[in-house]
Chains A and B, each alone.
Chain A
Amino acid sequence: MKPAGRRKREAGTAYLFLLPSLVGTGIFVLLPFLDVFRRSFLKAVGSGFVGWENYRQVLGNEAFLLAAGNTARFMAACLPILLSLSLCMAVLVRQMPVLQKWVKTGFLLPMAVPAASMVVFFRMLFDDKGWMNLLLQKMGLEGQGWLTSDHAFWVLVACYIWKNLGYDMILWLAGLGAIPEEQYEAAKVQGAGAWACFRYITLPQLKETLFVTALLSFVNAFRVFREACLLAGEYPHESIYMLQHLFNNWFVNLDIQKMTAAAVMLVVLTGGVLLVFQRSGFRET
């Protein structure tokens, strides 16, 4: 055990190292957030206290319900697809020693590509008169309005998966690499096939990786707004009108009251989810 004096000195040094970061975070995030919290209970003009009124307005707002529903639907659709597809790819990539580096590069590359550079390409692809419809017509099918109908949702899901497949694959590869090789050898000696090995050795030990990968994919899913906004503008088809669009439009109209209330709700919700995650899955040491 360290003596109390030294422990105190250590804490002092630690805070010295932390100081720049804490001051900045305090100024740019924490203090203003307190202000946001205060404002969420106030009237827009003047400073009358209105209680939960702002919250009630947000929850009763049709655009909010649409946006929240879309965001939830987007998460529910893209997370399972991305997680399972990237796991499959990771398992397959691990088994090919020859081209592994190149394949990894290919999958990771979209991550390095700025959304803005791809906009021209995606517009050529998905426009009413674009390449997708050209292809469909060649095959004798009817063209679709990819960005002006419910298809827009799936176009966005595809963009998200394209962009994040490599990132998730690397996370899975790290998880797979941490499973000791001996376990597979022992199982093979006892006559287990490839599927049995995967089902009874790989999957159970990937649970932690799953938590992490899901969390990060969730975070990254919010970033799909870049593509959505660049592709379809500030008022896109209603199937991809997300919370991010709504916040943006509130901001443009300076609807601070609704924004503050919604921000507080999202922080509380995310904090709660994070707590549950920490309790159930992985504890920080």
Chain B
Amino acid sequence: MEQKEESGMERSNGRDRRKQEAIQRGTGLIVCVFCFLTALPLLMLFADSLMGEQELLETCGAVLSGGEGQAGFSLFPLYPTLRAYLRLLLDSPEYFTAFWNAMFQTVGVLLGQLLVAVPAAWAFARFCFPGKKALWFLYMLLMILPFQVTMVSGYLVLNKVHLMDTHGAVILPGIFSALPVFILQKTFAGIPGEIIEAARIDGAGSVKIFLEIGIPLGKSGIFSILLLGFLEYWNAIEPPMTYLKTKSLWPLSLYLPQMANSETASAFAASVVTLLPATLLFFTGQENLEQGIVASGVERGKKEGQRSTDRFVSKGKGRGSAG
């Protein structure tokens, strides 16, 4: 462009480029505005959790604890303080019971899923067997059905084996969810057959192949089911609501909404502490989360799998030359 002898062609190119840049800047702005709007509620939650009791009552008392007048509004606390967190830490044993209940139930479900869903996904991905299509359809159907439909059948069993109103009532049905099988199947199907064939020729049995090739190469998929699973069960509302009557067994997701009424002062801090484990995990594993989402896209996962296959192949080669 700096050259003196601009031909007409180049000039129009320059104009195009400038126009394109302007468009790009415009779209960037739109996207950023949307993105900001999406993240705004979280920022405000953080800001409000730093308010002192008096300020919080002035702005939110009208709504949350039935006070008079209108709610006030301020984006930032005037006198930021961590007192709400302190109060939460020292004065609310129920909150911590609920926190550990949620942790126990979530981790229980995830560990169970590891033991159950990983081999099942391996079977669907690497073997041909009679009845595979029908079973796959069944798993897909189970994945799609909303909780309320399977709620009755779950209740009938849990009632019969006297598990109602125990941690097991939430954990056991969760372990046999179909979604992780679904996502992992995509990952495992992306492992190239040659690697497995080679191991078989070397005399490795099916279990050895699964443990020494399947699991290491499917690690990213396993991470993504754990991550998606944590977000899902940390946020579980329906199963504990239906299967748990005793309040001391309730996870945070059920306990927290009630807390807002009785302890307004620490409600925001409690909300922030609740979302902390989930968001921290989210930030550390965003890549895996995105992979998991893509793999949950039924057919599209295959192409993504293809791409990761290349990675597997180069990894496999690396190992081959080392060994």
Docked Cα-Cα span, A7 to B45, in Å, equals 58
Which residues of B27-67 have CB atoms within 8 Å of chain A's CB atoms? 27-28, 30-32, 34-36, 38-39, 41-42, 44-45, 48, 60, 62-64
Q: Is A44 an interface residue (CB 8 A)?
A: no
Residues of A within 8 A of B71 (CB): 124, 127, 129-131, 134
Residues of A within 8 A of B156 (CB): 32, 35-36
Q: Report the interface size class on chain B.
A: 35 or more
Residues of B within 8 A of A92 (CB): 27-28, 30-31
Q: Is B146 an interface residue (CB 8 A)?
A: yes
Q: Is B119 an interface residue (CB 8 A)?
A: yes
Q: Is B130 an interface residue (CB 8 A)?
A: yes
Q: Is B217 an interface residue (CB 8 A)?
A: no
B111 to chain A, nearest CB (A): 13
Q: Is B199 an interface residue (CB 8 A)?
A: no
Docked Cα-Cα span, A216 to B39, in Å, equals 23
Q: Report the interface size class on chain A.
A: 35 or more
Q: Is the CB of A36 within 8 A of B153?
A: yes
Pick out which of these stretches binds chain A: B4-12, B76-84, B250-258: B250-258
Residues of A within 8 A of B32 (CB): 99, 103
Q: Is the CB of B154 within 8 A of A28?
A: yes
Q: Is the CB of A18 within 8 A of B123?
A: yes
Question: Considering only CB atoms, which chain B residue lies closest to A33 in the complex?
Answer: B153
Q: Is B141 an interface residue (CB 8 A)?
A: yes
Question: Considering only CB atoms, which chain B residue lies closest to A194 in the complex?
Answer: B23
Residues of A within 8 A of B (CB): 7, 10-11, 13-15, 17-18, 20-22, 24-25, 27-29, 31-33, 35-36, 89, 92-93, 95-96, 98-99, 102-124, 127, 129-131, 133-134, 137, 162, 165-167, 170-171, 174-175, 178, 208-209, 211-213, 215-216, 218-219, 222-223, 225-226, 229-230, 243-244, 247-248, 251, 256, 259-260, 263, 266-267, 270-271, 274-275, 278, 281-282, 284-285
Q: What are the 4 closest A-B residue pairs judged by CB atoms, nearest first?
A: A32-B153, A14-B127, A21-B120, A222-B146
